[in-house]
Amino acid sequence: RREGIHQAVASDVTSVFKGKTAAQLAALQKQIESKINGKADGIDIGYWESLLSQLKAHMARARLRDRHQESLRRKLQVLKAEQAVTLPQPNEIHANAVGETSVEPKPGTSMEDDHVSENEGNEEDVANDMLNECFNAYQAGGYSPKFLNPDDIEPGTIVVTE
């Protein structure tokens, strides 16, 4: 006979399960199963069985969470690898430009003011370059879909005209 867990302790039980890894929950499952199979006097079998069923649900969630975290880690590594391949070129150009220009201090002014005005000019140039690149791509037809011949479309495809 399973009566389950009383509502007064249900929140305590879920708080025990939350935040645990799948391995920790598996160890807890072994402890509960040994307690059920031990058949010692004074043990509420129904309580421990319902606790075990809740534990299995939490274990499934933990495994999903672990897999999701691993998937996110792999995705992050791929993104970092892609950025590492594409980013050195702009950094090298920027490093060369900074290395070639030397700013000599002037009496009465601070170096920070000079760097701020240079950075503002560079940021505006970069923004203008990016905008021009987008405009050129748009004019070249980079944003328009390509025309498909109706004979090239797979049978059963629904075509909607505007």
Please give the mean pLDDT across all residues of the chain: 76
| More confident call, 65 vs 40 | 65
- Check residue 153 and report its DSSP letter: S
pLDDT of residue 87: 54
- Check residue 144 and report its DSSP letter: S
Mean pLDDT, rounded, for 53-57: 89
Task: Examine residue 14 and state whether it is found in any structural domain, yes or no.
Answer: yes
Alpha-carbon distance values, 144 to 90, 116, 159 (Å): 29, 40, 18
Give residue 1's pLDDT band: very low, low, confident or very high (50, 70, 90): very low
Task: Examine residue 63 and state whether it is found in any structural domain, yes or no.
Answer: yes
Closest CA to 17 of 6, 32, 2: 32
Task: Examine residue 49 and state whether it is found in any structural domain, yes or no.
Answer: yes
Exposure pattern of 48-65 as b/e (b: 16+ CB <10 Å)?
A: bbbbeebbeebbeebeee
Task: Examine residue 54 and state whether it is found in any structural domain, yes or no.
Answer: yes
Task: Examine residue 17 and state whether it is found in any structural domain, yes or no.
Answer: yes
Total of domains in the chain: 1
* pTM given for the model: 0.45
Q: Which domain holds residue 39?
A: 7-68
Residue whose structure tokens are 């075990």: 52
Is 63:55 a contact under the CB 8 Å cutoff?
Answer: no
Q: What are the tens digits of pLDDT across the range 116-139?
A: 455 556 777 888 888 888 778 777
Most distant CA atoms of the chain, gap in Å? 90
Residue whose structure tokens are 């075509």: 159
pLDDT of residue 75: 94
